[in-house]
Amino acid sequence: MKEGGFAGLHALAATRRTFIKTLAFAAVAAHGGSSVAFASYPDLPARLRFLTPMTHAIISAFAHRILPPGGAFPEGALSIDVVQYFDAVIAAEPYEIQQDIKRALILLEFGPYLQLKFRRFTRMAPAQKDAYLTTWEQSDTTLQRGIFSVFKKICCLGFFSSEKIFSHIGYDGPWT
């Protein structure tokens, strides 16, 4: 198993839902309990339908590493409405999918505690975050790779469908 993978635990879980639920619970417990874990996140910057202060912080940190500012062009996920897009996409999903997404975000945040790295994802340094996300991208656990891939696809779709990005990639946009 690659570092950061949850293959052994996945074998114990019958379904996607129980796998994510079990691991998210374990990760929060390893952190020290829910009351400590869920505190101290910034307030929401805007009114959102799905995200809470905690999950907003987690997906913002994720999106920021997937699509960082600089490089080929200046804009990054946080200068585009990627997080709001993520919120809208998930808010349109049925209840049980929203619950899965919420738990998957919690697992992303507290997953390091299961690897005995005592720092939650949102509080890691950028290089640590990238290394941690690489363990998700390359994990031997299918669902861990899947969660990474789903979150990444939503962020990319929100980012590159924004008209603010079109000129940077040479796309001349919808005909008018």
Partner 1 sequence: MILSPEAITGPVFEQADVCIIGSGSAGSVIAMEMAMAGYSVVVLEEGGPFTRPDFNKKERDMLAAMYRQRYSDDLSILFYQANCLGGGPVINMADCVRTPDAVFHMWEKNYGIEDMSPARMSAYFDKAEAILKTDKIKDTQLNRNNRVLKDGSTSLGYRGDTFHTNREHCVECGFCPFGCPYDSKQTTMLNYLPEALAAGAQLYVYARADRVEQKDGKAWRVTGSILNPVTKRKMAAVEVRAKVIVLAANTINSAQILLNSAIGNESGLAGKNLLIQPHTMVSALFDEELKGYRGIPQAYFCDEFEKVDEDIGLSGFRLEGGFTTPGLVSTMMPGFGPGLKERMARYNNMANVVVLVYDQPCGQVTLNRYGRPVISYQMADATRGAMISGMREAAKVLFAAGAREVMFAHEVPTVITDLSELSILEQRGIEPCSQLVVSFHMQGTCRMGADPATSVVDSYLESHTVKNLFVVDASISPSTVSSHNMLAIMAIAHRTADYIITNKEKYFGSTV
- By the rule CB under 8 A, 7 interacts with partner 1: no
Tell which one of 28, 66, 83, 124 touches partner 1 (CB under 8 A): 66
Which one of 31-39, 50-58, 108-116, 163-171 is the stretch in contact with partner 1 (CB under 8 A)? Answer: 163-171
Q: Which amino acid would we find at residue 155? A: C
Q: Which of 120, 98, 115 is nearest to 20 (CA)?
A: 98
**Residue whose pair of structure tokens reads 């929100």 in the numeric block:** 158
Tell which one of 6, 110, 132, 148 touches partner 1 (CB under 8 A): 148
Tell which one of 85, 110, 121, 132 touches partner 1 (CB under 8 A): 85
Phi, psi dihedral angles at 141 (to 5 degrees):
-95, 115
Buried b (16+ CB within 10 A) or exposed e, 27-43: bbebbeeeeebbeebee
Does residue 82 contact residue 151 with C-beta atoms inside 8 Å? no
Cα 125 from Cα 129, distance rounded (Å): 6
- By the rule CB under 8 A, 14 interacts with partner 1: no
Nearer to partner 1, 54 or 143 (CB): 143
Largest interatomic CA distance in the chain: 55
- By the rule CB under 8 A, 116 interacts with partner 1: no
Which one of 29-37, 53-61, 105-113, 168-176 is the stretch in contact with partner 1 (CB under 8 A)? Answer: 168-176
Site of interaction with partner 1 (CB under 8 A): 15-16, 65-68, 70-73, 85, 88-89, 92, 94-96, 130, 133, 137-138, 142-143, 145-150, 152-153, 156-162, 165-166, 168-172, 174-175
